[in-house]
Amino acid sequence: MRAVIDIGTNSVRLLVAEIVAGQVQPLIRATQITRIGQGVDASRRLQKDAMERTLRTLENFANQTPPGVPVQVLATSAVRDAVNKDEFVHLVAERTSLELRVLTGAEEAELSFRGAVLALQTRDLSYPVTVVDIGGGSTEIYTGDAQGNLLGGGSVQVGAVRMLERFITSHPILETERQAMEQEIVELVTPLVQDNLQYGPQTLVVVGGTATTLASILQELTCFDYDKVGGFAFSLKQLVDLYGKLGRLSLQERQQIPTLQAGREDVIISGTSILVQVTELLGFDRLIVSIGDLLYGSLVLPVDVGK
């Protein structure tokens, strides 16, 4: 049995699982939105209240982990970008006795790719596969072949929280703000998309909170169901239509959507916008959702992956 905690820009996630014949069998899952990346895009610093929210969640998750189970703690974009990340690493060790590993963008992308494909092993995927992981602070796009070889890709500083803070001031979203956000997303992700396109990807797999939330909404689920979300496929048209619908709703109206996790009602628009632009630039009209990402990848790959 192993455990991994991922400190993302928007949320902290726990996965405790057994690894059987290279397969991840989840036993305990938990997610808490703490938004440690609040204000990092502008200030390059982790805010004290955001760190405290995250530390309390880490303490809670550590208590949920069965005694004696080894725990990896990983951090991604927000902590990676912050000039005071060493302070937070020290606080994590002081409060929880856990060692925090801050992933590079390349490590995050590789773990996300491995985990995404691993969780879809029973599906008949056409290779090469491109995996898109939309986080709060960054987006990872990586392409690999049927043998698990990574062909190319990486990470770009485009994330749901980052775009929200840069462009969106009201809900429903203003048309001028939507257009400005989309233009910046396209400008920033295009080089990474072009890098992946040279490998001729045949399948697009998406992971992360934006993707799983959209899959739940499209299926009109009343509660989140990993079995129904994992492997769910939908079209670009469905994605674009939902993007428009969500953008026309107020925060209060979005809060009425059963599977839209509290605290995600503002970032869902920017996250969906990133997914729309990336899908269109990659030239796909169909997406497959995987519930595996860097959590799965980190449990089956060495912790020094990417070095």
Residue 168 and residue 138: Cα distance in Å, rounded?
A: 17
Question: Do the domain assignments include residue 109?
Answer: no
On whether both 89 and 159 belong to a single domain, the answer is no
| Residue 257 included in any domain | yes
**Residue 108 falls inside a structural domain:** no
Which CATH number characterizes residue 25's domain?
A: 3.30.420.40
Residue 144 belongs to some domain of the structure: yes
Q: Are residues 189 and 134 in the same domain?
A: yes
Domain boundary pick from 102, 130, 154 = 102
Give yes or no: residues 86 and 130 share one domain: no
Classify residue 163: in a domain, yes or no.
yes
Task: Compute the distance between CA of residue 223 and CA of residue 65 in angstroms, rounded to an integer.
Answer: 24
Residue 112 in domain: no
Tally of CB atoms within 10 A around 1: 14
Same structural domain for residues 247 and 191? Answer: yes
Rounded to whole angstroms, the Cα distance separating 34 from 8 reads 9
> Phi then psi for 11, rounded to 5 degrees?
-140, 160
Residue 306 resides in a domain: no
Torsion of Cα atoms, 195 then 9 then 215 then 154, to 10°:
10
Residues 80 and 145 in one domain: no
pTM, entire model = 0.91
Q: Tell me, yes or no, whether 187 and 214 share the same domain.
A: yes
Per-residue pLDDT of the chain (307 residues; tens, 9 = 90+): 999 999 999 999 999 999 998 889 999 999 999 999 999 999 999 999 999 999 999 999 999 999 999 999 999 999 999 999 999 999 999 999 999 999 998 888 889 999 999 999 888 999 999 999 999 999 999 999 988 789 999 999 999 999 999 999 999 999 999 999 999 999 999 999 999 999 999 999 999 999 999 999 999 999 999 999 999 999 999 999 999 999 999 999 999 999 999 999 999 999 999 999 999 999 999 999 999 999 999 998 755 544 4
199 lies in which domain range? 119-294
Residues 227 and 159 in one domain: yes
Indicate whether 51 belongs to any domain. Answer: yes
Counted domains in the chain: 2
Q: How far apart are CA 162 and CA 165, in angstroms?
A: 5
Instruction: Let me know if 242 is exposed, middle or buried by CB neighbors in 10 A (0-12, 13-18, 19+).
Output: middle
Q: From residue 199, how far is each of 80, 186, 189 by CA, in Å?
A: 29, 20, 17
